[in-house]
Structure 1
Amino acid sequence: MKAYVVGVGMTRFEKPETRDWQYWDMVREAGTAALADAGLSYEAVEQVPVGHCFQASTAGQRAAYELGLSGVPVYNVNNNCATGATALMLARQFVEGGASDCVLALGFEKMTRGALGGGTGGGDFAGSPVARHYGVMAARHGFARTPPTAQIFGNAAREHMEKYGTTEAQLAAVGAKNHRHSANNPYAQFQDVHSVDEVLASRTVHAPLTKLQCSPTSDGAAAAVVVSERFVERHALGGRAVEIVAQAMTTDTEESFASGSCVDAVGQPMSRAAARQVHDRAGLGIEDVDVVELHDCFSVNELLTYEALGMCAPGESGKLVESGATTYGGRWVVNPSGGLISKGHPLGATGIAQVAELVWQLRGEAEARQVPGARVGLAHNIGLGGAAVVTLLRRPA
């Protein structure tokens, strides 16, 4: 059974403590928008997977109750930075498996200011769920007094530079591109345009990564209504429906750790495997994709993901972004929303917000950031520890 997204909504992503609201306020705003987009009431919803990382166990119920008290099952989902896409994947599986005809996927986060920790206790990471990942980093690079997530990705960037000759300017080009894209996104946390030189001149977080190459902590929520083909027909939703053509989640394998490389430890092998599965299932390749929303938690991860998705050969990603191939007028438009770097990164909402952007793009509703003629979109959401989710969406002919 096919699954379709017929409604999406999100809040603006904002710096923590900008607005005096609770996480359930965010979900009410995003969820109400998604249901209105689909032209449905909450009473049509049969199940509700809710993604969040930092709230208590049944926070998903507290948030969903703002939309209605119909007694339907609510599932709390936590998969690190891939949480939002994981909630969406559960929604798709419920529909494709025939368990439900209408499922509402929700994701939210209310975060605190400052760098995101890695659960390492400042270097004593024995009890952390990402202990093996940071162990790979420590064995090769030691453990510095910088934010651990920036540190492991920064060290991945160093390795890429040493192996392939990737330059600091190429890394900064990712940040400059995504900040430029976000200027047209009213939902983005940042809407300022920055040149490559300005990105390079911003404060160093963990060399070679500067502040304008790192995603911020954010508050926000996103929602998507996922329905079956028969539901689309019954409710005459064909004009709103975007098909989930294929979706895959992968987790770490021996490849993530055997090389001793931070490039592998931060998830490039997971992303490559998930992309391969999606393209095989869909019968569509990366050459068929028009627009991509990918997990640029740090600029280097956008480059690593280009390679994992097959957009270029290993080591060629720096040249790819520098060439303009991943912006308007190029081969693909990557992160027209501004990506995590500029749109923001409330962990539980990110994966669903990526799909919301793609739905708007494929419907031709993205206004000033519209990718002309977009028909196929790909979302990539990844979390250390680990999970990589790739989703391929298509606008029906």
Structure 2
Amino acid sequence: MKNKVKVIGVGMTKFVKPGKQESYDVMASKAIQTAIKDAGIDYKDIQQAFGGYVYGDSTSGQAALYKVGMTGIPFINVNNNCSSGSTAIFLARQAVESGLVDCALAFGFEEMQPGVLKSHWDDRKDPVEAFFNSIDDLTYTKGQNGAIRFFGEAGIAYTNKYGANPDIFAKVAVKTRSHAINNPYSMFDKPLTVEEVLNAPVIYPPYLTRLMACPPSCGAAAAILCSEEFARKHGLQDAVEIIAQALVTDTRDSFKDVINTVGADMTRRAARQVYEQAGIGPDDVDVIELHDCFTTNEVITYEGLGLCGDGEAETFINNGDNTYGGKYVVGPSGGLMSKGHPLGATGLAQCSELVWQLRGQADKRQVENARIALQHNLGIGGAAVVTMYKKG
């Protein structure tokens, strides 16, 4: 028998631009302390912990955890690129579900530098070299390497494949920002128009503009997971249950199609596993936080998660089925695009938003009668984590 796993506490810092952040250990310890207070437990109740980050030295996770307390518990540093935070949740969930521990902590943090994402390791082989080689082979272009190229080419491939109007990527940015203005944790709170997005500086020709890309960000977030018995014992009535979760990595199919190279196939496989585990499909989902590092990826992910059929994203967007009053509310937090994307913290921040939504604590951005939530977190190179939550 597997233990049911509950999320009993969440917390995060407001994400900020590089240069305005506190030290990673301070941000992370604040997020952890907030989650502990939210859970209403003692730090000593936590039996195991996992900390996700990308840009940091070995044992940075311990440095953050030790600022909260030093109880000698097992701790594991997690680096799975942009899906590091959700991978930490995945490991904490496994530990609780298996009965190894009754209460586990997952947290994530990042201090990022201004400008485009880049590796800090220029003296060795790039771990995503095969992905760039795949883009070279599939597009017959030689462009700048980096996340911009991945998702810029994926957007081109999508519009070429389905004949979609490229303005859908701008419409997604406008939708996302309209959600962010109601989130006090968001970096940006100024509404956008489609014209502003389309007329912003182009960062990857022909049409990926700066307002279609998430900003480099700094911040931290945390979640506390426990067994159903632990929650009952401590009188925790408002817990949110993780009813299904899947973590998948690439197959050879990732190198056969540009859209798959940026994780569409991983997303599809992870989502399928989650729906099978939960025994319910995408039609039952109310609210979604997905990995919108670029608006091109949000469009691709609609189809990967089964929110609409292949090639149907343009209709889905134009019908308003990705926002309040439509079929789903996607990215009520403002998503990575507007809330920010400190890599290791992103998955935990998504979890925080969805827990608040299911508790009915999301204030002006609350999705009415939200009972089922879906989370999608992606890392190129690669891993995709999809998680389904249910109101307690």
Question: 2:6 maps to which residue?
Answer: 4
- Match for residue 231 of structure 2? 232
Alignment of 1:87 onto 2:51:
no
Alignment of 1:1-397 (within 5 A): 1-19=3-21, 21-117=22-118, 127-142=125-140, 144=142, 146=144, 148-207=146-205, 208-238=207-237, 240-257=238-255, 259=256, 261-396=257-392
Cα offset for 1:140?
2.9
Q: Structure 1 unaligned runs (5+)?
A: none
Distance in 2 separating the partners of 1:36 and 1:144: 51
One-letter amino acid of the counterpart of residue 282, structure 1? A
Deviations 1:230-288 (A, max 9, x none): 101100102x200000000010011111x2x2101001000000000000000010000
The alignment's TM-score, normalised by the length of structure 1, stands at 0.96
TM value normalised by structure 2: 0.97
Alpha-carbon contact 1:296-1:340 (below 8 Å) kept: yes
Count of residue pairs brought into register by the alignment: 389
CA shift, 1:318, in A, is: 2.1
CA contact (8 A) 1:102 1:231 kept: yes
Q: Secondary structure at the match of 1:129?
A: coil
Q: State the shift of 1:323 in Å.
A: 1.4
Deviation at 1:85, TM superposition (A): 0.2
Distance 1:147 1:345 in 2: 19
> How far apart in 2 are the matches of 1:201 and 1:301?
20
Unaligned runs of 5+ in 2: none
d(CA) in 2 for partners of 1:355 and 1:4? 12
Q: Distance in 1 between matches of 2:138 and 2:9?
A: 46
> 1:337 is matched by which residue type in structure 2?
S
CA offsets, 1:287-311, max 9 Å, x none?
A: 0000000000110111111101111
Aligned-CA RMSD value: 1.5
Q: Give the CA deviation at 1:145.
A: 5.2
SS in 2 for 1:67: coil
180 and 120 in structure 1: CA distance in 2 versus 1, 3 angstrom threshold: farther
Q: Is the 8 A contact 1:205 1:211 kept in 2?
A: yes
- Looking at structure 2, the residues matched to 322 and 211 of structure 1 have their Cα atoms a distance apart, in angstroms, of 22
Amino acid corresponding to residue 273 of structure 1 in structure 2: R
- The AA in structure 1 aligned to 2:165 is T
Check the 8 A contact 2:247/2:385 in 1, yes or no. yes
